[in-house]
């Protein structure tokens, strides 16, 4: 392949990265061993994992000059060696889930080697109940979290008899940049400036409206950016990571949502709010104002626009509210209003609003000063729809899929959820140095869901 220049955003992910702040997305998959598993099954699976560069071409490229990011570009990895990308080991008996999460936390701490293609797979045998795990991490400069989940989806099959087909490559869709004449380039720039000028007016109107709600003391309305309280989640982070997982009943959450005119996402936010409240109370660090979450949401387009719009809202988690059902009702009011605000904005304005929320933190991360400004939000809570069908990998049944994300200075916790069959697989990525006892958060999530169900 010819040298492929990185986009500004992808290059920024590399510039943001350091040994203390690795910037990769990952997935932890728990699988049930096939019945009548053939001898040498794990060795064969490890070999097949080493050939994923044949299936996904983006796994077969590396940085042209890994020691300099002046003009970063991808080139084909002509020295690709699977032994540097696939690790194979086993847990000590009895193969507890806690042991797996400790191992994965240590692996998740380490940055990827920039002199090689930026991905790794770890095959981990010995999990109790005849199970094993696959932990996969890919640099954010190669793919985002949603893209990584789509790649995983193409790897699995709905049939236990289907094997990975290496003859069928699945290239990642890349933007097609046409060479434009100078006149057309000026026209494109003029159109872009016009769109962003109009978007600025829309965004200014939204912020003015939110500011007026705040001045009038209105309750349960979307908060202004950078008004979140500072918490122990919003400090500088070091290289330590703690991965926490939890499984929540989808049917329970659906019943709660239907009974209150809420969405699954509303119920998830209320449960997260209750769990974070209990955690911070236990740590004697619960602030008086409510914590605020950044929530990626899908906004259904108006009739004048095809497809969906994806936006980013700030939702209060009402950690100042002790009653689970009241908390949910307040969450519903805020998210409904926030989504309605975005629904009446153009796609450009929605994207610019998301950039307004996150860009100052990213820039200050580069300068090492992210924790010196008020946090735009306290935590990210992202809910991604997954498969409703049972999935298999070379005969092994997928039991759970936990998506792991990035934490940075000023944003030391990330909660990502994927629905699979009748459960929500929750994965929490955190930096435990300033978060004592954070490993209890998975248990608190289940406890809060039970409390909410009992309150209805």
Residue-wise pLDDT tens digits, 294-320:
988 765 444 444 334 456 788 999 999
Same domain, 95 and 229: no
What distance in Å separates the CA atoms of residue 272 and residue 276, rounded to the nearest whole number?
6
Same domain, 306 and 451: yes
pLDDT tops 60 at residue 122:
yes
Same domain, 336 and 437: yes
CATH number, position 441: 3.30.559.30
What mean pLDDT, rounded, does the chain reach?
84
> What was the pLDDT predicted at 193?
35
For residue 171, being part of any structural domain is answered with no
Choose the final residue of a domain: 155, 179, 211.
155
* Separation in Å, CA 450 to CA 48, 87, 275, 316: 42, 39, 11, 21
Q: Which residue has the higher pLDDT, 60 or 182?
A: 60
For residue 394, being part of any structural domain is answered with no
Which residues does residue 397 pair with via DSSP β-bridges, in sequence order?
32, 392
Domain count, the chain: 2
> What was the pLDDT predicted at 204?
53
> What was the pLDDT predicted at 16?
86
> What was the pLDDT predicted at 356?
63
For residue 256, being part of any structural domain is answered with yes
Same domain, 75 and 150: yes
> What was the pLDDT predicted at 191?
40
pLDDT tops 60 at residue 124:
yes
pLDDT band at 218 (very low <50, low <70, confident <90, very high): low
- Which structural domain, as residue segments, surrounds residue 86? 4-155
Nearest residue to 386 (alpha-carbon basis) of 285, 247, 228:
247
85 given a catalytic annotation: no
Pick the range with the lowest mean pLDDT from 89-103, 138-152, 258-272, 427-441: 138-152
CATH number, position 134: 3.30.559.10
> What was the pLDDT predicted at 170?
64
Same domain, 16 and 105: yes
For residue 395, being part of any structural domain is answered with no
For residue 220, being part of any structural domain is answered with yes
> What is the three-class DSSP state of 225?
coil
Question: For the segment 63-110, what is each residue's pLDDT rounded down to a tens digit?
Answer: 999 999 889 999 999 999 999 999 999 999 999 999 999 999 999 999
For residue 172, being part of any structural domain is answered with no
pLDDT band at 223 (very low <50, low <70, confident <90, very high): confident
> What was the pLDDT predicted at 284?
96
> What was the pLDDT predicted at 167?
75
pLDDT tops 50 at residue 173:
no
Same domain, 37 and 118: yes
Q: Which of 13-22, 147-156, 344-353, 414-423 has the highest mean pLDDT?
A: 414-423
Catalytic residue among 140, 176, 196, 344: 140
Same domain, 150 and 198: no
> What was the pLDDT predicted at 422?
92
pLDDT band at 285 (very low <50, low <70, confident <90, very high): very high
Handedness of CA 361, 109, 394, 54 (dihedral sign): positive
Same domain, 327 and 383: yes
Question: For the segment 404-451, what is each residue's pLDDT rounded down to a tens digit?
Answer: 999 988 889 999 999 999 999 999 999 999 999 999 999 999 999 999
> What was the pLDDT predicted at 309?
46
pLDDT band at 353 (very low <50, low <70, confident <90, very high): low
pLDDT band at 171 (very low <50, low <70, confident <90, very high): low
Say what percent of the chain tops pLDDT 70: 79
pLDDT band at 154 (very low <50, low <70, confident <90, very high): confident
What distance in Å separates the CA atoms of residue 227 and residue 378, rounded to the nearest whole number?
10
Count the residues in the chain: 456
Class of residue 288 by CB neighbours under 10 A (exposed 0-12, middle 13-18, buried 19+)? exposed
**Kind plus residue range of the DSSP H or E element containing 54:** helix 52-55
For residue 52, being part of any structural domain is answered with yes
Same domain, 244 and 143: no
> What was the pLDDT predicted at 39?
94
**Kind plus residue range of the DSSP H or E element containing 208:** helix 182-215
Peptide bond preceding 94 in cis form (omega within 30 of 0): yes
Choose the final residue of a domain: 155, 182, 210.
155
Same domain, 251 and 303: yes
Same domain, 252 and 351: yes
Nearest residue to 142 (alpha-carbon basis) of 8, 10, 9:
10
Question: For the segment 368-399, what is each residue's pLDDT rounded down to a tens digit?
Answer: 666 777 888 899 999 988 889 999 999 999 99
Same domain, 209 and 105: no
For residue 208, being part of any structural domain is answered with yes
Class of residue 197 by CB neighbours under 10 A (exposed 0-12, middle 13-18, buried 19+)? exposed
């Amino acid at each position: 392949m010819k040298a492929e220049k990185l986009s500004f955003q992808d290059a920024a992910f590399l510039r943001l990265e350091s040994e203390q702040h690795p910037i990769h997305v990952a997935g932890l998959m728990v699988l049930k061993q096939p019945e009548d598993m053939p001898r040498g099954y794990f060795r064969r699976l490890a070999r097949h994992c080493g050939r994923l560069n044949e299936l996904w071409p983006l796994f077969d490229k590396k940085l042209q000059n890994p020691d300099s990011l002046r003009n970063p570009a991808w080139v084909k990895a002509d020295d690709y060696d699977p032994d540097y990308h696939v690790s194979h080991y086993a847990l000590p008996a009895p193969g507890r889930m806690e042991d797996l999460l400790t191992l994965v936390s240590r692996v998740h701490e380490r940055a990827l080697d920039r002199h090689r293609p930026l991905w790794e797979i770890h095959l981990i045998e010995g999990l109790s109940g005849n199970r094993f795990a696959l932990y996969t991490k890919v640099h954010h400069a190669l793919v985002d979290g949603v893209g990584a989940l789509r790649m995983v989806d193409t790897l699995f099959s709905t049939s236990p008899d289907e094997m990975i087909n290496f003859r069928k490559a699945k290239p990642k869709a890349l933007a097609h940049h046409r060479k434009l004449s100078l006149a057309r380039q000026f026209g494109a720039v003029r159109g872009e400036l016009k769109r962003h000028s109009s978007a600025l007016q829309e965004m200014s109107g939204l912020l003015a409206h939110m500011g007026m709600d705040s001045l009038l003391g209105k309750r349960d309305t979307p908060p202004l950016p950078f008004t979140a309280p500072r918490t122990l989640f919003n400090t500088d982070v070091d290289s330590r990571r703690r991965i926490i997982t939890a499984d929540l009943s989808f049917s329970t959450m659906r019943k709660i949502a239907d009974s209150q005119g809420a969405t699954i996402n509303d119920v998830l936010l209320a449960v997260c709010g209750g769990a974070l409240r209990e955690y911070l109370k236990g740590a004697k660090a619960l602030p008086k104002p409510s914590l605020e979450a950044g929530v990626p949401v899908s906004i259904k387009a108006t009739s004048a626009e095809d497809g969906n719009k994806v936006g980013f809202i700030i939702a209060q988690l009402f950690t100042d509210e002790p009653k689970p059902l009241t908390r949910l009702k307040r969450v519903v009011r805020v998210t409904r209003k926030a989504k309605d605000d975005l629904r009446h904005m153009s796609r450009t304005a929605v994207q610019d609003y998301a950039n307004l929320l996150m860009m100052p933190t990213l820039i200050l991360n580069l300068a090492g000063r992210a924790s010196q400004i008020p946090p735009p939000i306290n935590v990210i809570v992202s809910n991604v729809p997954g498969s409703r069908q049972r999935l298999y990998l070379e005969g092994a049944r997928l039991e759970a899929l936990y998506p792991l994300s990035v934490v940075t200075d000023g944003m030391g916790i990330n909660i990502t959820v994927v629905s699979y069959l009748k459960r929500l697989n929750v994965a929490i990525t955190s930096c435990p140095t300033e978060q004592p006892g954070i490993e209890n958060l998975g248990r608190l999530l289940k406890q809060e869901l039970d409390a909410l169900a009992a309150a209805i």
